Amino acid sequence: MAQAAIELIGINKSFGAVRANRDINLEVARGTIHGIVGENGAGKSTLMSILYGFYQADSGEIHVGGKPVSINTSNDAIALGIGMVHQHFMLVDNFTVLENIILGAENDVLLKSSIAKARSELDRLEREYGLEVDPDAVIEELPVGLQQRVEILKALYRGAEILILDEPTGVLTPAEADHLFRILKQLKEQGKTIVLITHKLREIMAITDTVSVMRQGTMVATRVTKETTVGELAELMVGRRVLLRVEKGQSEAGAIKLSVKNLTVKDSRGVTMVDNVSFDVRGGEIVGIAGVAGNGQSELLEAISGIRHAVSGEVMLEGKPIDLTGKADPGELRDRGLAHVPEDRHHVGLVLAFEENENSILGYHDDERYLKGPFLDVDAIMADAKDKIEKYDIRPGNPRLKTANFSGGNQQKIVLAREMEQDPGVLIVGQPTRGVDVGAIEFIHKRLIAMRDQGKAVLVVSVELDEIRSLSDRILVMFAGRVVGERGPDATEGELGLLMAGVEHQEAAE
């Protein structure tokens, strides 16, 4: 084994009563890609934040390049050649690429020389690693894939030899993720050391040399990637065997519950996002919409749930039309049996500052069950929340806890419990398991299939192809705002991938 680039010995870190890291040992060899996997809340990000100087460990030692070091601030880490690509990019959105690159690494009180230096340096990095990006582009106008590239360039510009990437593919399209992996491999060949934090096992298998598994704040195992399997890693992560593919019976499709006809939606700039889309969803079936993020799925969902204006077309819910002016009353749609689990649970699905019990009835709070005269019936709400916590295994099981303090998976379960328990006829779910850990994914998938088996119509939009394939009875593929194909659940990944990339569509158009 090559010399260790990083060595962590006996790292402990607590936040109040929560022990985020206990007695962690980790060794990463120089010039390798090392993966760290674990469920959300397993302590991966905390550990890396300690390495990057964002937090200080309560005890333990850090060795970089064989020497013991103390890292108290991000500056110390940068000086030691450690760079980090954060999950939520640390970029200033209305700055140019150049400005972001030099921020904090200016060589002078005036910017002129720094900008000139950064420009030539970017040019070199572009040639060496194929990291192309327009230095004068404004960050907010770049796609996320390029924004991430700027983050990588920022670290390299500061002379990083060790690069930590925290959940780098969470925001990327499959094509962008592939490109990222090529870049990482190239960096590795140039002798850089890369630590990749993720909860996607497939990425670990595809790119890493070695992998460590974390569970509940401890390091449970380290493996050579070639000698392990996805199954073993998944089991190590959750501590038990998980189903990567949900078992489900044949669907028994009934009457049409949701019908979309010639729906067209434009965004605020007038660009057509959904282009003449038509489909039906029947009771007792799950229809999955696959596609690379940004091909109109989000807009489609929003239009169907009445919160985005549609230019033309109609949507029928149980045979009656939905107001498509974008001003539909969501309460009325709920009463008509349409439940919506939005893609963005933080901004649309939940009020993070509310207690769990409040979020678990949000939107249904004017339902008689939760009212006592004009007032909220707190006892009934609490009882209801406790009931949902039990049924959906929401942890920690404290309905008085602030929603922001739940992990991503549990927050998603709060939203799902709220929407599913209203016994809707039609359930629309956007990204059911985005940012959700393996154990919870399995649970959520099972609940969705249970809904289907009760005869509900379920529409699922997801950018995770595996998820679409494992859940759906019918798969619609969206590309550039259009539905470019419909396939059965047995469609191969390659076939769907081609559709998602618009290949077949373009050929047909020619």
The residues binding another protein (CB under 8 A) are: 15, 52, 54, 73-75, 78, 84, 86, 88, 90-95, 99-100, 102-106, 108-112, 114
* Residue 148 beta carbon to another protein: minimum distance, rounded to whole angstroms: 14
Our CB check for another protein shows the closer of 3 and 113 to be 113
Dihedral sign of CA atoms 181, 183, 184, 189 in order: positive
Strands (E), 414-492: 426-430, 457-461, 474-479, 482-487
How many angstroms from the chain centroid is the CA of residue 323?
31
Residue closer to another protein (CB basis): 3 or 73: 73
Place of tokens 């065997």: 241
CB 53 within 8 A of CB 73: yes
Pick between residue 88 and residue 226 the one whose CB is nearest to another protein. 88
How many CB atoms sit inside 10 A of residue 337's CB?
A: 18
Tell me phi and psi for residue 419, to 5 degrees.
Answer: -75, -40
Using the minimum distance from each CB to another protein, give the nearer residue, 125 or 139.
139
Cβ atoms 330, 323 nearer than 8 A? no
CA dihedral 468, 473, 474, 476 (to 10 degrees): -20
CB of 274 to another protein, least distance (A): 26
Spatial distance between the Cα atoms of 110 and 103, rounded to a whole number of angstroms: 12
CA distances from 414 to 355, 378, 442, 471 (A): 11, 18, 16, 20
Q: Cα(210)–Cα(205) distance, rounded to whole angstroms? A: 9
Residue closer to another protein by CB (options 4, 197) is: 197
CB 26 within 8 A of CB 8: yes
Smallest gap from residue 51 Cβ to another protein (A): 13
**Which of 108/507 has CB closer to another protein?**
108
Query: Least separation, in Å, of the C-beta of 74 and another protein?
Result: 4
State in angstroms the smallest separation of the CB of 117 from another protein. Answer: 13
Report the residue number, 90 or 255, with the smaller CB distance to another protein.
Answer: 90
Q: Minimum Å distance from CB 162 to another protein? A: 15
